[in-house]
Structure 1
Amino acid sequence: MSNVLSVEKIFHAYGTQPLLDEAELRIDYGERVCLLGRNGEGKSTLMRIIAGELTPDGGVVRLAEGCNLAMLPQTLPSNSPDTVLETVAAAFPETGRLLLRFAELSQQGAAVDMDELERVQAGIEANDGWMLQQRIDRILLQFGLDPDHRVAELSGGWQRRVLLARALASDPDLLLLDEPTNHLDVPAIRWLEDTLSGFRGALLFISHDRAFIRKMATRIVDLDRGKMTSWPGDYDRFLELKEKALEDEERERALFDKRLAAEETWIRQGIKARRTRNMGRVRALKAMRDQHRERRNRTGTASFSVEAAGQSGKLVVEAKKASFGYPGSGPIIRDLDLLILRGDKVGLVGENGTGKTTLLKLLLGQLEPTSGELRLGTQRQVAYFDQLRDELDLEKTALDNLAEGREFIDIQGQRKHVLGYLGEFLFSPQRARSPVKVFSGGERARLLIAKLFSQPANILVLDEPTNDLDVDTLELLESQLVEFPGTVVVISHDRDFLDNVVTSTLFLDGSGRVQDTVGGFSDWRRQGGTFPAERSGSSATSAGSTSPANAEPAPSVAVQSRPDVKASSNGKKLSYKLKRELELLPSEIANLEAELEAVQQQIGDPAFYGGEPEKVSATLARLTELEAALEKKIARWMELEEMAES
C-alpha cells in the first residue's frame, strides 16, 4: 500500500508540558485508524495539525502528492445561518459559490442580469462545476438531506450528517473524524458505520465508542504522554497488548529506580570512597538523574465513587396504563405499565425524538400523566446528570464550579478538601484552578460527573453521560454505577455501556409504546428488538425530506457512485402496481437524463445568452425543472428498490 500521510517528529506544547513529543504516524491508503488516548492527551490538537488548522512547534506533516484531505470537526455549527446546500457546497469554496449564485439567477426569470449569468456560467465551466453540482446533488440525496433546511435548526445528529456530507462531497483521499458518534442515536451510528465502510480512502478517527471502534478500526494508534504507538489488530487485541506494555514499563522503571538508589548511596559514601570513585560512574549517575527527571508519569486512574444517600423505599416508581401528551399533540407515552424497584439499573433506548426525555420526567415526577396512574416511591433523593450540564460556568474555575466558595465538602460521611476530591477525577491543583472554558470536552464531562457524585442520592438519572469520556474514565463510571446500591436510570446510545450497566432496557418505538426487556442492549437485540427504520426500510430521502429539527436520521445507503439504474429482480415482493412503476422508472430516468444533457449543451453554447431573453429564461427554468424531476425519480427508484429487497 502507498503512504497517504506521514507525521514526522511533531512537537507541540502548551506551557511547560509537551502535548506531542516528537510524535510520529504513518497511514496508508485504505486504512481505518483509530486514535486513542486519555482526555487532554492532545488527540484533537494532532487532528488540527494534520488538517493544517494549527502550526506545530516542531516537526512536519507530509501528505501524498495531490492528496485531498477533509475533516469532520467535533464542534457542531449551532449558530450557522447557512442552509444544508450552502454548507455542503462549501466543500468547493469558489465553485460552490458560483453554483449557488447560478441557482439564484436562474430563479429570476426575465429580470435576470444576463451578463452576470454568463460570467457565472463561464466560471462554473472553467472549474468543472457541473460535475461537482451532480456530486453534491447525489450526496444530498443519499444522505437524505433537505437542501433548503437551515443547519442551525437541525438536531445534533442531522448537523453531523450535514458535515459528513460536506467532507465526503470533496471525494477526499484522507478523512479525519473527531468523535463522529457524539449526538447520534443507535440507528444513526449504524448508518455512519455502513457509510464509512464504503469509503475507499484512508480514515483517521477519534472515538471512545467501543462498539464503533470494534466495527471500524483496522489499526489502533495510542497517544500516551506525547508519544504515539501503533498497535496492529483489532481493539480487543490492543487492550491486551497495552496492558502488558504498561506492566513491562512498570517493571523496567522499578529496576531503574533501584539502580538509581544504589548509585545515590554510592556517591554519598565517605571521604575514602570519594577519592577513589570512578568519574565515568559519576557521569553515568548524572545521566540517570536527568533521565529520571525527564520521565513522564502516566496520569493516574480516576478513583471517584458515588455519594450514596439513605435508602429509598423499595418501590421507586410504578405506572399503570399511564399516558402523556402535550396539549394539541397525540400521546408521547401511551399505556405505560412499569415497575422500578430499589437497586434496578434501567436503560432507555430509542431514536432521538421518540420521547425518552419525556419518560424520564414522568419517572422523576416532573410531569403528571394525562391518563392512567403513576405512583412514586418514598424517600427519593435524585441526582440528575442532564440538569448539571447547564450549571457549569465557563468563566469560573473547576474549583469554583464545584465548591462554590467552600474549602471542604462532605463525601460519604468524610470531610474532603475540594482539591483532593477533584484530584480523584484527574484534575491537578493547577488544572482545578483553570477556567472551565479552556477545558476539553472530556475534562468538562469529568467535572460534571464530579459535581453529580458530590450530591447525596439514592436515584441517579443520567442523560447521555458517556459523551467525551475517555475509555478509562468510562469503564470506572460503569463499575461505580454497577456497585451503586441505589437505582440508576440512564439514556444512552453507547451499546457497550448499556450492556455493562443496565439490568433492564426500555425501548421507545416512537408510537408512544414502551417495551420492557430484561438485560442490556444486546439482550434486547437477541430478543428481536429492532428500530422502526429497520422494520419499515424507510429510505434516506424520505427521512431527510420530513425530518423535524429534533429527529435523527434513519439508516441509509453507504456513499457510493451513482447506482446503475435497472429494474430489480426482487420486484415480486411488491404489489403489481409498484412493480410496474419500478420497471418503468429506469427508462423514465434515462429520458430525463438525455433531455437534461441536451439542455445543458444548449446552455453551454456561447451564443445561448445572445438569444431572446424570454427563451433564455424559459430554458433556464426548464433546466431547473429537469434537475428536480430527475432527483425525484431517482429517489423513488431507490425507495422501491429498498422495498423490493426488504
Structure 2
Amino acid sequence: MPLITLQNVDYGVGGPLLLQNVALSIDAGERIALIGRNGAGKSTLLKLLAGEIQADDGEIRLEGGVRVARLEQEVPAGAEGDVWDVVAGGLGQLGAWLAEYHHLSHAEHVDTEALAKVQAKIEDAQGWSLDQRVTETLTRLQLDGDAPFSGLSGGMKRRVLLARALVSAPDVLLLDEPTNHLDIEAIDWLEGFLKAWTGALVFVTHDRRFLRALATRIVEIDRGQVTSWPGDWANYERRREERLNAEAQENARFDKLLAQEEVWIRQGIKARRTRDEGRVRRLKAMRMERGQRRDLTGNVRMEVAQGDASGRKVVEAKDVAFAYGGNAIVGELSTAIMRGDRIGLIGPNGSGKTTLLKLLLGELAPTAGEVKLGSNLRIAYFDQYRATLREDWNAIENVAEGRESVEINGKHKHVIGYLQDFLFTPERARAPITRLSGGERNRLLLAKLFAQPSNLLVMDEPTNDLDVETLELLEELLADYPGTLLLVSHDRDFLDNVVTSTLVMEGQGRVGEYVGGYSDWLRQRPEAQSLNTAAKPAAPTPAPAAQAAPAVAKRKLSYKDARELEQLPSRIESLESRVAELTAAMNEPAFYQRGSADIAAHNATLAAAQAELDAAYTRWAELDA
C-alpha cells in the first residue's frame, strides 16, 4: 500500500498551473529522483508532500501514522544555537524541551529548579527515548552536538540539517538539492548513507552521478504534467527522447491541419455560403486547443564574450608555498598553466582551493616562491556565493549596469533579448533578484559573466541549482571556449566532461597535479596506485606526480615511443567504446536467450577487450611518465 498518494492535484501561483492534475504514489523503500527544468515546480511538489503548503484542488493522502521530513534547499534563517539544539528542533516542542534540558544539565552552575521543571515536562510527554534518538543520530552522522551551528562550514550545516530531518524517524525523507555545498568526500558519504536508508526517499539534485547512483524511479515535471519513469536515468533519457519526438510529430500534424482549416475559413463568398457549421465549430475548438498548448521550455543560448588572446603562458608558479596560522595550505608547488588549459581544482571543503586560486591569480602573495602572470589577461570570475550580484538591482541592471545593450563578440544585443537567451522573460528580468530562485540566480550570474570579454574564466562551483539541460549546454560552451579555464567543482561528471587536468588538495600542503578529470584522478591518485601495486606486485606502477620524492629527469622518448604515446588516447577511447558496447549488449533482456556457446564467446570477447584497455592505460602511464 502506498505511503503517500496524490490524486488530481492542482497548484498554481498565477498564470498556467505549476502542477496540473497530478497523480502520483510513493511506496516504501523507493528512491525517487524528481527532475525538471528550473522553476518547473520540483521544490513546490516537495512542500506539498511535506504538508507545508496546500493544493488548490485534488487530494494528498497519507497512510495512517506516516511521518514525512524535508531537507530544505537553503539553510533556514532561524537555525541557531549549538548542533544539539538544531537537531532536536526536528522534534517540535518536545525537541525544544530536550534542548533546554541539555543546556541546563551541562551548565557550569546547574539551576536545579528550572531543570526539574523541564524534566517533568519531558517525563509527562514520555520523551526520554527521543533524547536518546537525538544522541544516536548525532553519532551516526559523526556530529559534535556541542559545536556552534553558526561556525560550521556550508557542508557540515547541510549534514546537521539532514540529522534534524532524520531524528523524527520519517517514513518518507524529502531532500532538495542535498549535495549543494558538499565536497566530493561528503557526497560519497551521503550516497552510501542513503543507499542504506530503509525508508522512502524523494530527492531533487543537479548531480547526475549522484542521481544515477541512487534513483530507482524517475519522476519528471514538465509544463505542469508529472510523469513517472520506472528504472534508471539511462532508461528515462531514452524513453523521454522517444516521447518528445512523438509529441513533435503530433504537434506538426495538428498545426498542418489547423493551417489548412484557416485557409478554408478565409475562402471567398461562394465557399462561405456552403460552409459546414460543424467544421466551423471544430476549427474554433482547434484554435482553443492550440492556444492552450504549453510548448517545451527552450534551452539556454549561451555565448561567451571573448577577449583578445592571452600570452601563451598564462600562469607560472615556482616553489610556491603559503601557510596560515602555522598550517601549511600550499607547499612548494611548481606548475605552469598554458593558454587553452582547463584546470579543475579538487579538495575537501576548507582544504584551501580558494586560497590556491588567489595565489595563482596574484590576488594573494605567497609565503615563499613566486607566481608570474602571463600577458594580456582578461579575467572573468564566477563566485559560488553570488556576491557580485547586487540585491537592490533587478536582472537587467545587474547585467547591463545602466546600458541598454551588451556587446558579445562584436554584436550588440538589447539586454532584454540577451536575458531571454538565458530564459528570463521580460517580466522576470525586471523583477527584484530577491524573488529569483537559486537556479535563476545562477543563470543570471552566468549571463553577467559571459557578457564580459575574457580569456581566463575562473568558475567557483558554477553547477549549483542548474537543471540538467543547462548543465550540459554549459559543458559544451566551456569545451569550445578558446581561452583558459580554472574550475572549482564537486560535480564529478562536470569535471570529467570539462577539464583536461586537475590540481588536488591532498593535505599538509601537498598539491597533486594529474592528467584528465575526476575519474582519471581516481585511477592515478597515490591510494589507487598503492592498491594496484598490492594486487599486481609483478607490474610496478610509476610514481604519482604528487609524491614528495625528488623528481627524476624524464628520459627522451624514441620516435617510435613518441608516436605510440600520441596514438594511445584515440586507441583508449576506441577500446572504452568497445567495452561499453559489449557491456550494454549483456544488459539487453534478449541476451540470455542466446545459446550458451554464444554467451561464452561474448564474455570472452568482453574480457579480451577489457584486458586490452587495461594494458593501453598501463602503457600510456609508462610513456607519459
Quickly name the TM-score band, shorter chain normalised. Answer: 0.7 to 0.9
1:417 aligns with 2:411: no
1:320 corresponds in structure 2 to: 318
For residues 49 and 158 of structure 1, the distance between their equivalents in structure 2, rounded to whole angstroms, comes to 27
Determine helix, strand or coil for the equivalent of 2:386.
Answer: helix
Shift of 1:395: 3.1
List aligned pairs for 1:615-626, cutoff 5 A.
none
Q: What amino acid is aligned across from residue 251 of structure 2 in structure 1?
A: R
1:152 aligns with 2:141: no
Task: Give deviations 1:444-473, integer Å, cap 9, x for gaps.
Answer: 000000000000000000000000111111
For residues 237 and 22 of structure 1, the distance between their equivalents in structure 2, rounded to whole angstroms, comes to 25
Of structures 1 and 2, the one scoring higher in RCO (CA 8 A, sep 6+) is 1
1:498 aligns with 2:495: yes
2:463 corresponds in structure 1 to: 466
Determine helix, strand or coil for the equivalent of 1:509.
Answer: strand
For residues 119 and 78 of structure 1, the distance between their equivalents in structure 2, rounded to whole angstroms, comes to 30
Q: What amino acid is aligned across from residue 513 of structure 1 in structure 2?
A: R
Q: What amino acid is aligned across from residue 431 of structure 1 in structure 2?
A: R
For residues 527 and 305 of structure 2, the distance between their equivalents in structure 1, rounded to whole angstroms, comes to 36
1:441 aligns with 2:424: no
For residues 388 and 176 of structure 1, the distance between their equivalents in structure 2, rounded to whole angstroms, comes to 24
Determine helix, strand or coil for the equivalent of 2:40.
Answer: coil
For residues 104 and 528 of structure 1, the distance between their equivalents in structure 2, rounded to whole angstroms, comes to 45
1:81 corresponds in structure 2 to: 80
Moved more, 239-248 or 31-40: 239-248
Shift of 1:173: 0.4
For residues 146 and 44 of structure 1, the distance between their equivalents in structure 2, rounded to whole angstroms, comes to 30
Q: Unpaired segments of 5 or more residues in structure 2?
A: 532-625
For residues 441 and 143 of structure 2, the distance between their equivalents in structure 1, rounded to whole angstroms, comes to 32
2:482 corresponds in structure 1 to: 485
Match of 1:334 among 324, 331, 353: 331
Match of 2:522 among 511, 521, 525: 525
1:131 corresponds in structure 2 to: 129
Change (3 A) 1:307 1:69: same
Change (3 A) 1:523 1:78: farther
Q: What amino acid is aligned across from residue 498 of structure 1 in structure 2?
A: L
Task: Give deviations 1:282-332, integer Å, cap 9, x for gaps.
Answer: 211111111000001111111111111111000011112111123x42321
Shift of 1:247: 1.4
1:24 corresponds in structure 2 to: 23
Shift of 1:112: 4.4
Q: What amino acid is aligned across from residue 382 of structure 2 in structure 1?
A: F
Determine helix, strand or coil for the equivalent of 2:12.
Answer: strand
For the aligned residue pairs, the C-alpha RMSD in angstroms reads: 1.9
1:166 aligns with 2:160: no
Shift of 1:43: 1.0
Match of 2:211 among 210, 213, 217: 213
2:551 corresponds in structure 1 to: none
Moved more, 193-202 or 485-494: 193-202
Task: Give deviations 1:383-423, integer Å, cap 9, x for gaps.
Answer: 11118821212232111111122111111111111111111
Asked if the contact 1:77/1:152 (under 8 Å) is kept, the reply is: no
List aligned pairs for 1:158-237, cutoff 5 A.
158-237=156-235
For residues 111 and 43 of structure 1, the distance between their equivalents in structure 2, rounded to whole angstroms, comes to 47
Alignment length, in residue pairs?
A: 529
Q: What amino acid is aligned across from residue 87 of structure 2 in structure 1?
A: V
Determine helix, strand or coil for the equivalent of 1:18.
Answer: coil
1:604 corresponds in structure 2 to: none
Q: What amino acid is aligned across from residue 220 of structure 1 in structure 2?
A: I
Asked if the contact 2:330/2:356 (under 8 Å) is kept, the reply is: yes
Asked if the contact 1:354/1:512 (under 8 Å) is kept, the reply is: no
List aligned pairs for 1:259-338, cutoff 5 A.
259-326=257-324, 328-338=325-335
For residues 148 and 108 of structure 2, the distance between their equivalents in structure 1, rounded to whole angstroms, comes to 25
Determine helix, strand or coil for the equivalent of 1:248.
Answer: helix
TM-score by length of 2: 0.82
Asked if the contact 1:389/1:448 (under 8 Å) is kept, the reply is: yes
Asked if the contact 2:501/2:513 (under 8 Å) is kept, the reply is: yes
Determine helix, strand or coil for the equivalent of 2:380.
Answer: strand
Shift of 1:99: 2.2
Match of 1:457 among 454, 458, 462: 454
1:102 corresponds in structure 2 to: 101
For residues 63 and 204 of structure 2, the distance between their equivalents in structure 1, rounded to whole angstroms, comes to 22
Shift of 1:496: 0.2
Asked if the contact 1:508/1:514 (under 8 Å) is kept, the reply is: yes
Q: What amino acid is aligned across from residue 289 of structure 1 in structure 2?
A: R
For residues 326 and 282 of structure 2, the distance between their equivalents in structure 1, rounded to whole angstroms, comes to 79
Shift of 1:118: 4.7
For residues 350 and 193 of structure 1, the distance between their equivalents in structure 2, rounded to whole angstroms, comes to 18
Task: Give deviations 1:552-606, integer Å, cap 9, x for gaps.
Answer: xxxxxxxxxxxxxxxxxxxxxxxxxxxxxxxxxxxxxxxxxxxxxxxxxxxxxxx
Asked if the contact 2:384/2:461 (under 8 Å) is kept, the reply is: no
Asked if the contact 2:384/2:460 (under 8 Å) is kept, the reply is: no
Shift of 1:113: 4.2
Task: Give deviations 1:461-498, integer Å, cap 9, x for gaps.
Answer: 00000001111111111111010001001000000000
1:14 corresponds in structure 2 to: 13
Change (3 A) 1:334 1:113: closer
Q: What amino acid is aligned across from residue 28 of structure 1 in structure 2?
A: D
For residues 349 and 109 of structure 2, the distance between their equivalents in structure 1, rounded to whole angstroms, comes to 45
Q: What amino acid is aligned across from residue 273 of structure 1 in structure 2?
A: A
Q: What amino acid is aligned across from residue 179 of structure 2 in structure 1?
A: T
For residues 66 and 454 of structure 1, the distance between their equivalents in structure 2, rounded to whole angstroms, comes to 53
For residues 108 and 150 of structure 1, the distance between their equivalents in structure 2, rounded to whole angstroms, comes to 15
For residues 108 and 289 of structure 2, the distance between their equivalents in structure 1, rounded to whole angstroms, comes to 75
1:54 corresponds in structure 2 to: 53
Asked if the contact 2:456/2:485 (under 8 Å) is kept, the reply is: yes
Determine helix, strand or coil for the equivalent of 2:221.
Answer: strand
Q: What amino acid is aligned across from residue 154 of structure 1 in structure 2?
A: L
2:616 corresponds in structure 1 to: none
Asked if the contact 1:33/1:205 (under 8 Å) is kept, the reply is: yes
Q: What amino acid is aligned across from residue 521 of structure 2 in structure 1?
A: W
Determine helix, strand or coil for the equivalent of 2:486.
Answer: strand
Q: What amino acid is aligned across from residue 87 of structure 1 in structure 2?
A: V
Determine helix, strand or coil for the equivalent of 1:261.
Answer: helix
Asked if the contact 1:322/1:336 (under 8 Å) is kept, the reply is: yes
2:560 corresponds in structure 1 to: none
Q: What amino acid is aligned across from residue 476 of structure 1 in structure 2?
A: L
Shift of 1:56: 2.5
Task: Give deviations 1:146-184, integer Å, cap 9, x for gaps.
Answer: 111121111111100001001111110011100000000
Change (3 A) 1:105 1:325: closer
Shift of 1:78: 5.4
Asked if the contact 1:355/1:512 (under 8 Å) is kept, the reply is: no
Change (3 A) 1:110 1:252: closer
For residues 226 and 157 of structure 2, the distance between their equivalents in structure 1, rounded to whole angstroms, comes to 31
2:592 corresponds in structure 1 to: none
List aligned pairs for 1:399-410, cutoff 5 A.
399-410=396-407
1:511 aligns with 2:514: no
Q: What amino acid is aligned across from residue 26 of structure 2 in structure 1?
A: I
Change (3 A) 1:110 1:336: closer
Asked if the contact 1:76/1:160 (under 8 Å) is kept, the reply is: yes
Determine helix, strand or coil for the equivalent of 2:513.
Answer: strand
1:548 corresponds in structure 2 to: none
For residues 401 and 17 of structure 1, the distance between their equivalents in structure 2, rounded to whole angstroms, comes to 28
Change (3 A) 1:408 1:104: closer
Asked if the contact 1:388/1:452 (under 8 Å) is kept, the reply is: no
